Amino acid sequence: MKISSLDRPALLSIVEEFPRQRVVLLGDLVADEFVLGDIARVSREAPVLILKQRERRIVPGGGANAANNLADLEAKVLPVGVVGDDETGCGLLEYFRQKNVTSRYILCRQGHVTPTKSRILGGHAHWQHQQIVRIDREPARPLDRQTRRLLRSRAASLIPKASALLISDYGYGSTDAREVEALRPAAARRKLPITVDSRFDLLTYSHLTAATPNEPEIEEAFGEKVGSNLELLRRLGKRLLGRLSLEALLVTRGRDGMVLFERRKDPKHIPVFGSDVAVDVTGAGDTVIAVFTLALAAGASFLHAAQLANCAGGLVVMKRGTATVSRPELREAIRNA
**What are the Cα distances from residue 310, in Å, to 228, 258, 269, 273, 284?**
20, 7, 11, 6, 10
Does residue 165 belong to any structural domain of this protein?
Answer: yes
In sequence order, the β-bridge partners of residue 249 are: 211, 261
- Contact between residue 159 and residue 183 where contact means Cβ atoms under 8 Å apart: yes
Does residue 311 belong to any structural domain of this protein?
Answer: yes
The pTM of the full predicted model, rounded to 2 decimals, is 0.94
In sequence order, the β-bridge partners of residue 76 are: 22
Does residue 206 belong to any structural domain of this protein?
Answer: yes
Return the closest-CA partner of residue 262 out of 237, 279, 229.
Answer: 237
Which residues are identified as catalytic? 286
Mean pLDDT computed over 300-308: 97
Does residue 128 belong to any structural domain of this protein?
Answer: no
- pLDDT at residue 125, rounded to an integer: 74
Q: At what angle do helices 177-189 and 145-158 cross, to 10 degrees?
A: 20
Is the pLDDT confidence value at 141 over 90?
A: no
Contacts of 114 (CB under 8 A, 6+ apart): 29, 30, 31, 83, 84, 86, 88, 89, 92, 137
Return the closest-CA partner of residue 117 out of 61, 182, 187.
Answer: 61
- pLDDT at residue 223, rounded to an integer: 93
Residue 287: other Cβ atoms inside 10 A:
28
Which strands sit side by side in the sheet containing 29-42, from one edge to the other?
49-62, 29-42, 116-123, 130-137
Q: What is the CATH number of the domain that holds 224?
A: 3.40.1190.20
Does residue 124 belong to any structural domain of this protein?
Answer: no
Residue-range definition of the domain harbouring residue 229? 7-31+60-115+140-336
Does residue 50 belong to any structural domain of this protein?
Answer: no
Does residue 38 belong to any structural domain of this protein?
Answer: no
pLDDT in tens, 56-97: 999 999 999 999 999 999 999 999 999 999 999 999 999 999
Number of separate domains in the chain: 1
- pLDDT at residue 253, rounded to an integer: 94
Mean pLDDT computed over 262-288: 89
Does residue 44 belong to any structural domain of this protein?
Answer: no
**What are the Cα distances from residue 164, in Å, to 75, 81, 106, 161, 251?**
11, 16, 18, 9, 20
